[in-house]
Amino acid sequence: MKTMIAPSILSADFSKMGEEIKRMELAGADIIHCDVMDGIFVPNITFGIKMVADIRKITSLPLDVHLMIVQPEKYVERFADAGADYITIHVEATEKLNETLSLIRKKACKCGAVISPDTPVSALSGCLELCDMALLMSVYPGFGGQKFIEKSLDRMKELSALAKIENPDVLLEIDGGVNLDNISAIKQAGAQIIVAGNTVFSATDPKAVMQELRAK
């Protein structure tokens, strides 16, 4: 399948959010990645439900809402109502993982599970059959602009092998530190959706960068 590029608005200029998203659309983005952080699960705060709802008004691209929040089960229905197409939740952030994934699906929204760098890939076993997407963090969640963690390549290979057993249709996503130097190895490891932040938002020609990310 074609590699899908999901620009992360964490790297956008928030004072020009509408313009930034249109710029990514024109550059050929497949998905808009929205990082929601609560200052508790991760040491940073970004935005919430209203931002997702406002972004929904200005783009027809799928919104991939990545919840880096504790007890996401309390909020997933509201994010679905705000216009999210995908909602991904951290294994580490809830004691009701499968129940919450099912709740997201009941809202006619696609769901996914996320693991941070220190969480074993095996933690996703048993929930992949409920997932449309599985997201592997290749940096520690909380801040953009971090360096790619090299062990993530082996972890993505492990996740790819697990997915082939438990749910061959699940989309494999990677988030953090992706650039033109490591994209080829990342795709070879099995990643299908590439979350890209500074790599595309800081580019003079983001369209050319996205084309190169797909081509490598």
pLDDT at 145 over 80: no
Given strand 171-175, what is the order of strands in its sheet? 4-7, 193-196, 171-175, 133-137, 110-115, 86-90, 63-68, 32-37
Q: What's the pLDDT at 2?
A: 85
Domains of the chain: which residue ranges? 4-215
Q: 142 vs 70, which has greater pLDDT?
A: 70
pLDDT at 144 over 80: no
Q: What's the pLDDT at 162?
A: 98
Active-site residue identified among 30, 64, 132, 175: 175
Q: What is the pLDDT of residues 154-213, one digit of tens each?
A: 999 999 999 999 999 999 999 999 999 999 999 999 999 999 999 999 999 999 999 999
Portion of the chain with pLDDT greater than 70, in percent = 100
pTM of the model: 0.96
35 counts as catalytic: yes
CATH topology for 4-215?
TIM Barrel (3.20.20)
Whether the Cβ atoms of residue 93 and residue 68 lie closer than 8 Å to each other: yes
Q: What's the pLDDT at 78?
A: 98
pLDDT tier at 30, thresholds 50, 70, 90: very high
Half-sphere exposure of 172 (CA within 13 A, CB side): 26
Q: What's the pLDDT at 81?
A: 98
Active-site residue identified among 35, 38, 64, 132: 35
